[in-house]
Amino acid sequence: MGGKSKRTFKVSLITLLSLSFALAGCGGNNNSNTKDNAKAEETGAAQTAGAADTGDKIEPFNISVFLGQAGQQPTPDNKIYKKIKDETGASFNFEFLAGDINQKLGVMIAGQDYPDMMTGNTKLTAAGAYIPLEDLIEQYAPNLKAHYADYWNMMKDPNDGHIYILPNYGVYNGKVNSSWYSGPAFWIQKAVLKEFGYPQVKTLDEYFDLIEKYKEKYPKIDGSPTIGFEILNYDWKNWGLFNAPQHLIGHPNDGGVVVKDGVAEIFADKDYAKQYYQKLNEINQKGLIDKETFVQNYDQYMAKLSSGTVLGMFDQHWNFNAAEDSLTTQGKIERTYVGLPLVYDKATKDYYRDLAVLNLNNGFGISINAKDPVKIIKLLDTLIQEDWQKTFSWGIEGEDYIVENGRFMRTQEQRDNAADATWQLANKAKALFDFLPKTEGSFSDGNSTDAAAQPEEYKAGLKPFDKEVLDAYGFDTYVDFFSEPPANPVYYPAWSIDLIEGSDAKIANTKLTELQTKFLPKAILASPEEFDSVWTDYVGEIKKANVKAYEDKINEQIKWRIDNWSK
Amino acid sequence: MAETLETEIAVRHSNRRKKKKRPVTWSLIKSQNQLIWMSVPLMLYIILFAYVPVWGWTMAFQNYRPAKSFSEQEWVGFKQFKFLFTDDNFLRVLRNTLSMGIINLVLGFVTAIVLALLLNEIKNVLWKRTVQTISYLPHFLSWIIVTGIVATSLSINDGIVNIVLMKLHLIKEPILWLSEGKYFWGIVGASHVWKEVGWNTIIYLAAIASIDPALYEAAEIDGASRYRKMQFVTLPGIKATIVILMIMSIGHVLEAGFEVQYLLGNGLVVDWAETIDIFVLKYGLAQGNYSLATAGGIFKTVVSVTLLLMANGISKRLGEERLL
| Residue-by-residue DSSP string for A273-340 | HHHHHHHHHHHHHTT-B-TTTTT--HHHHHHHHHHT-EEEEEEEHHHHHHHHHHHHHTT-GGGSEEEE
Whether residues A510 and B271 touch (CB distance < 8 A) is answered with no
Whether residues A129 and B179 touch (CB distance < 8 A) is answered with no
The DSSP secondary-structure symbol of A487 reads P
In angstroms, what is the C-alpha Rg of chain A?
Answer: 27
10 Å Cβ neighbour count for A551? 18
User: What's the pLDDT score for residue A360?
Assistant: 74
User: What's the pLDDT score for residue A106?
Assistant: 85
Nearest by CB to A517, from B179, B270, B286: name it: B270
Q: Classify residue B298: in a domain, yes or no.
A: yes
Provide the 3-class DSSP secondary structure of residue B1: coil
Q: What is the pLDDT of residues A184-213, one digit of tens each?
A: 999 999 999 999 999 999 999 999 999 999
Whether residues B40 and A17 touch (CB distance < 8 A) is answered with yes
Q: What string of pLDDT tens digits covers the 324 residues of chain B?
A: 445 555 555 555 555 444 556 778 888 888 888 999 999 999 999 999 989 988 889 989 988 877 777 888 888 889 889 988 988 888 999 999 999 999 999 999 999 999 999 999 898 999 999 999 999 999 999 998 999 899 989 988 788 999 999 999 998 888 899 998 999 999 999 999 999 999 999 999 999 999 999 999 999 999 999 999 999 999 999 998 999 898 888 888 888 778 899 988 888 999 999 999 999 888 888 887 888 889 998 999 999 999 999 988 888 888 777 777
The domain spanning residue B282 has which CATH number?
A: 1.10.3720.10
Most A CBs within 10 A among B90, B277, B287, B289, hence the mutation to make, goes to: B287
Structural domain count, chain B? 1
- Please tell me whether the overall predicted TM-score, pTM, comes out greater than 0.80 for this model: no
Whether residues A522 and B267 touch (CB distance < 8 A) is answered with yes
What gap in Å lies between CA B72 and CA B76, rounded to an integer?
Answer: 13
User: What's the pLDDT score for residue A22?
Assistant: 47
User: What's the pLDDT score for residue B282?
Assistant: 87
Q: What CA dihedral angle connects B193, B194, B196 and B198, to 10 degrees? A: 110
User: What's the pLDDT score for residue A233?
Assistant: 92
Q: Classify residue B263: in a domain, yes or no.
A: yes
User: What's the pLDDT score for residue B254?
Assistant: 86
- For residue B125, what are the domain limits? 79-318
Answer whether A164's CB lies under 8 Å from A125's CB.
yes
Residues in chain B closer than 8 A to A240 (CB atoms): none
Provide the 3-class DSSP secondary structure of residue A149: helix
What gap in Å lies between CA A327 and CA A306, rounded to an integer?
Answer: 6
Residue of B nearest to A513 (CA): B267
Q: What is the pLDDT of residues A243-270, one digit of tens each?
A: 999 999 999 999 899 999 889 999 999 9
Q: B214-253 in b/e burial notation, b at 16+ Cβ within 10 A?
A: eeeeebeeeebeeeebeeebbeebbeebbbbbbbebbbeb
* DSSP codes, B150-195: HHHHT-TTT-HHHHHHHHTTS-SS---GGG-HHHHHHHHHHHHHHH
Residue of A nearest to B268 (CA): A518
Nearest by CB to B176, from A112, A295, A517: name it: A295
The vertex-A69 CA angle with A63 and A73, nearest 5°, equals 55
The DSSP secondary-structure symbol of A262 reads T
Strands (E) across A22-60 are located at none
User: What's the pLDDT score for residue A512?
Assistant: 93
Residues in chain A closer than 8 A to B64 (CB atoms): none
Beta partners for residue A266, in sequence order: A257
Whether residues B288 and A517 touch (CB distance < 8 A) is answered with no
Peptide bond into A493 cis (omega under 30): yes
User: What's the pLDDT score for residue B288?
Assistant: 79
Q: Classify residue B113: in a domain, yes or no.
A: yes
Residue of A nearest to B266 (CA): A295
B106's CB contacts (< 8 A; 6+ apart) are none
Most B CBs within 10 A among A23, A124, A292, hence the mutation to make, goes to: A292
* DSSP codes, B73-135: SEE-TTHHHHHHHHSHHHHHHHHHHHHHHHHHHHHHHHHHHHHHHHHHH---HHHHHHHHHHH
User: What's the pLDDT score for residue A44?
Assistant: 41
Answer whether A314's CB lies under 8 Å from A240's CB.
yes
Most B CBs within 10 A among A232, A295, A309, hence the mutation to make, goes to: A295
The DSSP secondary-structure symbol of B253 reads T
Q: Classify residue B49: in a domain, yes or no.
A: no
Q: Classify residue B124: in a domain, yes or no.
A: yes
What gap in Å lies between CA B18 and CA B9, rounded to an integer?
Answer: 14
Burial class (CB in 10 A: 0-12, 13-18, 19+), B52: exposed
User: What's the pLDDT score for residue A51?
Assistant: 40
A431: left (phi over 0), alpha (psi -120 to 50) or beta: alpha
* DSSP codes, A56-106: S-PPPEEEEEEESS---PPPTT-HHHHHHHHHH-EEEEEEE--S-HHHHHH
Residue of A nearest to B48 (CA): A24
Nearest by CB to A502, from B157, B266, B289: name it: B289
User: What's the pLDDT score for residue B275?
Assistant: 92
Residue of B nearest to A504 (CA): B287
Which chain A residues touch B if contact means CB-CB below 8 Å?
6, 9-10, 13, 16-17, 20, 24, 102-103, 106, 109-110, 112, 123, 126-129, 224-225, 233-234, 291-292, 294-297, 299-300, 501-502, 506-507, 510, 514, 517-522, 525, 544
Whether residues B151 and A13 touch (CB distance < 8 A) is answered with no
Q: What string of pLDDT tens digits covers the 567 residues of chain A?
A: 444 555 665 666 566 555 555 444 444 334 434 444 444 444 444 444 444 444 446 789 999 999 988 888 999 999 999 999 999 999 999 999 988 888 889 889 888 899 999 999 888 988 889 999 999 999 999 999 999 988 888 888 888 889 999 999 888 877 777 788 989 999 999 999 999 999 999 999 999 999 999 999 999 999 999 999 999 998 889 999 999 999 999 999 998 999 998 899 999 999 999 999 999 999 999 999 999 999 988 988 999 999 999 999 999 999 999 999 899 889 999 999 999 999 999 999 999 998 878 877 789 999 999 999 999 999 999 999 999 999 999 999 999 999 988 899 998 889 888 888 889 899 999 889 999 999 888 898 889 888 888 888 888 878 899 999 999 999 988 999 999 888 888 888 898 888 877 788 988 999 999 999 999 999 999 999 999 999 999 999 999 988 999 999 999 999 988 888 876
What gap in Å lies between CA A482 and CA B159, rounded to an integer?
Answer: 40
Answer whether A357's CB lies under 8 Å from A255's CB.
no
Provide the 3-class DSSP secondary structure of residue A258: strand
B184's CB contacts (< 8 A; 6+ apart) are B178, B264, B265, B269, B272, B273
Q: How many residues does chain A have?
A: 567
H-run or E-run covering A408: strand A407-409
Whether residues A501 and B38 touch (CB distance < 8 A) is answered with no
Note the ipTM here: 0.79
Residues in chain B closer than 8 A to A297 (CB atoms): 148, 151, 263
User: What's the pLDDT score for residue A26?
Assistant: 43
Residues in chain B closer than 8 A to A502 (CB atoms): 63, 287-289
Residue of B nearest to A500 (CA): B287
Q: Classify residue B16: in a domain, yes or no.
A: no
* DSSP codes, A535-558: HHHHHHHHHHTTHHHHHHHHHHHH
What gap in Å lies between CA A544 and CA A269, rounded to an integer?
Answer: 12
Q: Classify residue B125: in a domain, yes or no.
A: yes
User: What's the pLDDT score for residue A86?
Assistant: 92
What gap in Å lies between CA B297 and CA B299, rounded to an integer?
Answer: 5
What gap in Å lies between CA A479 and CA A338, rounded to an integer?
Answer: 9
What gap in Å lies between CA B84 and CA B104, rounded to an integer?
Answer: 25
User: What's the pLDDT score for residue A153?
Assistant: 87
Q: Classify residue B102: in a domain, yes or no.
A: yes
